[in-house]
Amino acid sequence: MKILVTGGAGFIGSNFVHHMVKKYPEYEIVNLDLLTYAGNLESLRDIENEPNYKFVRGDIADRPFIMQLFEKERFDIVVNFAAESHVDRSITDPGIFVQTNVMGTQVLLDASKAYGVKRYHQVSTDEVYGDLPLDRPDLFFTETTPLHTSSPYSSSKASADLFVLAYYRTFGLPVTISRCSNNYGPYHFPEKLIPLMIIRALDDEKLPVYGKGENVRDWLHVEDHCAAIDLIIHNGRVGEVYNVGGHNERTNLEVVKTILKALDKPESLINYVTDRPGHDLRYAIDPTKLETELGWKPQYNFDTGIAQTIEWYLTHKEWWQRIVSGEYSNYFEAMYGERLK
């Protein structure tokens, strides 16, 4: 079995590559990543010499390149993590989100159709559903919840999902989609909430919290997410969407206070800042379909997961310090430059 993982140098993608390389030594795992600001090959340093792993640098929106890659490799499964994913960046520059998240997905779909891929899996987000009111804790996103996007980022992801389902309906391409809640865990890029708060708290810097910190997110440990995708690509029903949620709802302020308590830092570091435009209030996923059809259950609750994550950042300071300083971007050249000449 040969599997293409796009965006495999990003946060969730790199964790998934680790998961697959270690669990399936008989598979070939090809990691395709453009290495934009959030792609970091140092996250894969411990497996880069494994015989069942290979890295390829490239852009999913580059049609000639993608077609040549599919012609050469003849993938059995494609798992598409590659995406621009930071909401604030999508507000500043929506165009790149359309280019990568929509156009790039369409190129991958065309290549998968042309070369007979047995399963195309799209990694999506619960943000395509919009948000839920804070005063209705009984409401959850299901796979039949209408799409109702709030940001250019979520709009681009919803558009990609619709293309994926259209290729199933129109061309019979064997597809699946997963929509996950907020992930956390190792190798999380430092501009995201949890690693940002950990790193700034360690340096006794102010912690920027949007609005009053009341926005609620359902936190999913990245390893639980990887296990879910593994199940879906092997056993999920073609043409179906599966929601992946952690049953771990917390307000942003609760998350920040949990981090401060674990690091023995004062809450006076919290600094409330002007809220993001169109900031979604609450995300909460009902993963019943995934649990009943495929037997998935999360292995982490938030208390154990966040403690493990904080410990990981404390013991892997070199990893995130190189990102903060910008040095991580030199790793590709140091590791692969001579090989590619």
Catalytic residue set: 126-127, 153
Do residues 99 and 107 make contact, with C-beta atoms less than 8 angstroms apart?
A: no
Residues 6+ apart with CB under 8 A from 171: 113
* Contact between residue 236 and residue 242 where contact means Cβ atoms under 8 Å apart: yes
Nearest to residue 189, comparing CAs of 2, 3, 36, 33? 36
Residue 80 phi, psi dihedral angles, 5° rounding: -100, 100
The count of residues in the chain is 341
CA–CA separation, 89 and 40 (whole Å): 18
Question: Half-sphere exposure of 145 toward its Cβ, with a 13 Å CA cutoff?
Answer: 24
CA 206/CA 333 separation, integer angstroms: 34
Question: Which pairing describes strands 270-273 and 207-210: parallel, antiparallel, or unpaired?
Answer: parallel
Element (H, E) at 271: strand 270-273
Residues 6+ apart with CB under 8 A from 35: 9, 41, 57, 329, 332
- Write down the residue that tokens 């340093």 correspond to: 45
Cα gap 192→160, rounded to integer Å: 23
- The token pair that represents 106 in the structure block: 């369409």
Q: Nearest-CA neighbor of 169 among 102, 81, 109, 104?
A: 109
What is d(CA 14, CA 8) in angstroms, rounded to the nearest whole number?
5
Q: Which of 160, 189, 151 is nearest to 313 (CA)?
A: 189
Q: CA–CA separation, 31 vs 44, rounded Å?
A: 10
